[in-house]
Amino acid sequence: MKLPSISLTLPFALLATLSSLTSAHMTIQNPLPRAHPLNPNAATKDFDCIMAPLNGGGPCAPKPFPCGGYPQDTKITQTFRAGEVITVEFFNQNFPSDPSNSDPNADQARHNGGQCEFSLSYDGGKTYTVIGSYKKTCPDIFFGWKVKIPQNAPSCDNPGQCLFSWSWINAVGNREFYQNCADIKIEGNSTKALPIIDITRANLPPQFPQIITPPGDPANTGNAKGSGPSQMACVNPGKTGDFTTCANGKLITRSCAATLVCKTAGTSIACDYA
């Protein structure tokens, strides 16, 4: 599965403002969350602390759960259909464009990844249904993270109540809890509510007193090379024809043609004779 490259062109004035942000962490940019400087429908725009954890830190004060306490969008234009696979993208002001234009020594401030959970809420963030998760390598701005809206998701068109949430518990650094919420509409046919599958609530004392440290990816600290999920990889290089690939956000195993084995070729793989 070839994931789309992320390219973002910003007006010079906005780029200059974003470059001066004092809290260099991470936020989603697709879907556009509340208070994001690039969100044209944001009721308020947080240029300083949108990427900070809810714990606060440095010049950023703690933010309330859920959704950092940011107000709902003035107009809701992001609509998803039940069964649709969306591509979640991330943003950090140090990387306003694509990898080729980024400083290879700069850090995305992704803290070696950790645990990302993507969820829907129908009640403004009181309850959640986790619909996708990535471990170790997430987040990373150079990958499109596939998340499927459940086929049985009912419609939701209640301003301020229908949310797409990203929450993240980082692998390295201070124990922190991140969350962004995007106001959305959902189009579906189901008449039954989604089951509650709660997000991981931790590292936000005293509200979430549980302290956890999820595994990360120490081999890649999230510089301009990226560290997203493996696209394709040989299961047993040079010995069998099995290889893994990504399909709709999940790793599946496939095989080369008969008599061929899977071999690594740099960052790619090839089916070849043993």
Per-residue pLDDT at 250: 54
Asked if residue 221 belongs to a domain, the reply is no
Instruction: Classify residue 31 as exposed, middle or buried by CB count within 10 Å of its CB (0-12, 13-18, 19+).
Output: buried
Looking at every residue in the chain, the average pLDDT score rounds to 84
Residues 66 and 129 in one domain: yes
What is the spatial distance between Cα 155 and Cα 79, in angstroms, rounded to a whole number?
10
Beta strands in 82-222 (DSSP E): 85-91, 114-121, 129-136, 145-148, 163-170, 178-183, 185-187
Rounded to two decimals, the pTM is 0.78
More confident of the two residues 111 and 229: 111
Q: Are strands 79-81 and 185-187 parallel, antiparallel or unpaired?
A: parallel
Asked if residue 204 belongs to a domain, the reply is no
Last residue of a domain, one of 187, 216, 249: 187
* Residue pLDDT, tens place only, 37-87: 999 999 999 999 999 999 998 899 999 999 999 999 999 999 999 999 999
Per-residue pLDDT at 2: 34
Task: Identify the CA nearest to 128 among candidates 138, 117, 139.
Answer: 117
Residues 183 and 258 in one domain: no
Residues 63 and 169 in one domain: yes
Residues 111 and 58 in one domain: yes
Task: Identify the CA nearest to 186 among candidates 217, 218, 153, 211.
Answer: 153
Q: Is the peptide bond before 229 cis (omega within 30 degrees of 0)?
A: no
Residues 72 and 135 in one domain: yes
More confident of the two residues 10 and 76: 76
More confident of the two residues 70 and 263: 70
Q: Measured between alpha carbons, how far is residue 173 from residues 166, 238, 268 in Å? A: 19, 38, 32
- The amino acid at residue 210 is Q
Asked if residue 82 belongs to a domain, the reply is yes
Residues 112 and 16 in one domain: yes
Asked if residue 225 belongs to a domain, the reply is no
The answer to whether 53 and 25 have CB atoms below 8 angstroms apart is yes
Residues 238 and 132 in one domain: no
Among 95-99, 158-162, 262-266, 269-273, name the one with the lowest average pLDDT.
95-99
Residue 56, domain CATH: 2.70.50.70
What is the spatial distance between Cα 24 and Cα 27, in angstroms, rounded to a whole number?
10
The answer to whether 251 and 237 have CB atoms below 8 angstroms apart is no
Model confidence band, residue 28 (pLDDT cutoffs 50, 70, 90): very high
* Residue pLDDT, tens place only, 102-124: 665 666 778 888 999 999 999 99
Residues 146 and 63 in one domain: yes
Model confidence band, residue 8 (pLDDT cutoffs 50, 70, 90): very low
Q: Is the per-residue pLDDT at 255 higher than 80?
A: yes
Per-residue pLDDT at 217: 82
What is the spatial distance between Cα 23 and Cα 66, in angstroms, rounded to a whole number?
20
Structure token pair of residue 192 = 């039954």
Q: Can you say whether residue 67 is alpha, beta or left, with left for phi > 0 and alpha for psi between -120 and 50 degrees?
A: left
Structural domain containing residue 239: 232-273
What is the total count of domains within the chain? Answer: 2
Model confidence band, residue 215 (pLDDT cutoffs 50, 70, 90): very high
Model confidence band, residue 164 (pLDDT cutoffs 50, 70, 90): very high
